[in-house]
Amino acid sequence: MSRAKSKQNLEVCGDCGALDATWASVNKGILLCTQCCSIHRSLGRHISQVKSLLKGSWHPNQLNMVYALNNNGANNIWEHALFENGSKLMKKKPAPKDSINIKQEYIKMKHVQCAFAFRESYEDGLLSVENELGKQLHASVRTANLETSFRLLALGADPNYFHDVIIIYFHSHITLRSWRGSWYIEFFFVWDNK
């Protein structure tokens, strides 16, 4: 995607609001300014995978995904508690001119501790929450709604969730046979819904 085409997208840093977002955190779905990008790099790739919008080599689908997530409010997932009325967190988003130490403290709270992300509370406990999120993710990935799947992953859904209700076991056997000079394929299929 050319730089000229991407200008229509909201190129604002998701962490400090700077207008010169020239980097992206691919797995967080947000754009970043250079200073916030350097903080993300220090967190490690297991927390944030950053890539330059100007110099990086992007597959068009990946770049479109990042812009789609950014433009559809992926940052609101990570900052949910900041906008909630009556929030007990007395934290404010840093401004572009704030010191790197203030930005670093905020970014660690936001992306390492997930302190501002929405976490649903269920009476049945954590296992119930994980199962419910896993079921929702299992259903969501079968649709074209990227934002919903991303939100569920951010909430803690297990991407490897095993949904035992829908699994269908089957056994098959393929054989190549010759009959009267012609080749044909035999395919045996046995369905077992356990």
Q: What does the pLDDT look like over 160-184, one tens digit per residue?
A: 776 665 444 444 445 545 555 555 5
CB-based contact 3:91 (threshold 8 Å): no
- State the Cα–Cα distance between residues 24 and 144, nearest whole angstrom: 22
Question: For the chain, what are the domain ranges?
Answer: 3-112
pLDDT category at 73 given cuts 50, 70, 90 is confident
| DSSP one-letter string for the chain | --HHHHTTS----TTT--S---EEETTTTEEE-HHHHHHHHHH-TTT--EEETTTS---HHHHHHHHHHHHTTHHHHHTHHHHSTT-S----PPPTTS-HHHHHHHHIIIIIS-TTS-----TT-HHHHHHHHHHHHHHHTTSS-HHHHHHHHHTT--TT---TTT--EEEEEEEEEEETTEEEEEEEEEEE--
pLDDT at position 50: 96
pLDDT at position 167: 45
- Percent of residues, the chain, with pLDDT higher than 70: 68
Compute the average pLDDT of residues 52-63: 91
Helix axes 100-107, 34-43, angle to 10 degrees: 50
Least confident of 111-120, 121-130, 144-153: 121-130
pLDDT at position 153: 79
Neighbour-count burial for 39-68, b at 16+ CB within 10 Å, e otherwise: bbbebeeebbebbebeeeebeeeebebbbe
- State the Cα–Cα distance between residues 13 and 89, nearest whole angstrom: 22
pLDDT at position 108: 95
- State the Cα–Cα distance between residues 84 and 82, nearest whole angstrom: 6
pTM metric for this prediction:
0.68
User: Which of 38 and 139 is assigned the larger pLDDT?
Assistant: 38
Q: Is the pLDDT of residue 127 over 70?
A: no
User: Which of 107 and 74 is assigned the larger pLDDT?
Assistant: 107
- Supply 28's token pair: 């967080």
Least confident of 55-59, 72-76, 102-106, 148-152: 148-152
Q: Which CATH class is domain 3-112?
A: mainly alpha
pLDDT category at 189 given cuts 50, 70, 90 is very low
pLDDT category at 128 given cuts 50, 70, 90 is low
- CB count within 10 Å of CB 145 equals 12
pLDDT category at 157 given cuts 50, 70, 90 is confident
The residue count for the chain = 194
Compute the average pLDDT of residues 33-55: 95
